[in-house]
Amino acid sequence: MREWFVEHGALARGAFVVVVLVSLAVLFAPPSDVPPSPPGVDKVVHAVLFAALAFSSRWAGIRERVVAVALVVYAAGSEVVQGTALVGRDASVGDWLADVGGLLVGLLLWRLATRVAPAR
C-alpha cells in the first residue's frame, strides 16, 4: 500500500483539490443549507473533514509542519467567518477542537499508510 502513496502526482493533487472544495462547501454553507442532525454529528463532520484535508494534503506532497499550521489556522478562520453575518452560523470552540482532532488523526493515518513495510 505504501507504494500507492509515494507518488505525489495528478491523482493526489486532484484528490486534495476536491477535499478543499468540499471543505469550503461544508464550512461556509448558509444555515438554510445545513441539514438538521442529531447532537454531536456536527463534530464528527468537522473531524472527518479535517482528517481528509490533512491526509490528502500530505498525499499531494505538502510538508507535515505546513499542513499542521495551515489547517489549524484554516479551522480557526472558518469558525470566525461562520460567526459573522457573512455566513450567519455560530462560531464554536468545540468545532475548532474537532477540526484539530481530525487534523491529528489525518496526519497519523498518513504516517501509518506510508510506513515502510517490514523486510520479508
pLDDT at 9: 84
Mean pLDDT value across residues 75-86: 92
Using an 8 Å Cβ cutoff, are 69 and 15 in contact? Answer: no
Lookup: cell for 91 = 462560531
pTM for the predicted model, two decimal places: 0.89
pLDDT at 4: 55
Is 73 exposed, middle or buried, given 0-12, 13-18 or 19+ CB atoms closer than 10 A?
exposed
**Over 70: is that where the pLDDT of 23 sits?**
yes
Q: DSSP secondary structure string, 78-101?
A: HHHHHTSTTT-----HHHHHHHHH
Helices 64-82 and 10-28, interaxial angle, to 10°?
20
Mean pLDDT value across residues 14-22: 96
Using an 8 Å Cβ cutoff, are 59 and 5 in contact? Answer: yes
How far is it, in rounded angstroms, from Cα 21 to Cα 13?
12
Neighbouring CB atoms inside 10 A of 69's CB total 11
Using one digit for the tens of pLDDT, what is the confidence trace for 53-70? Answer: 999 999 999 999 999 999
How far is it, in rounded angstroms, from Cα 67 to Cα 31?
28
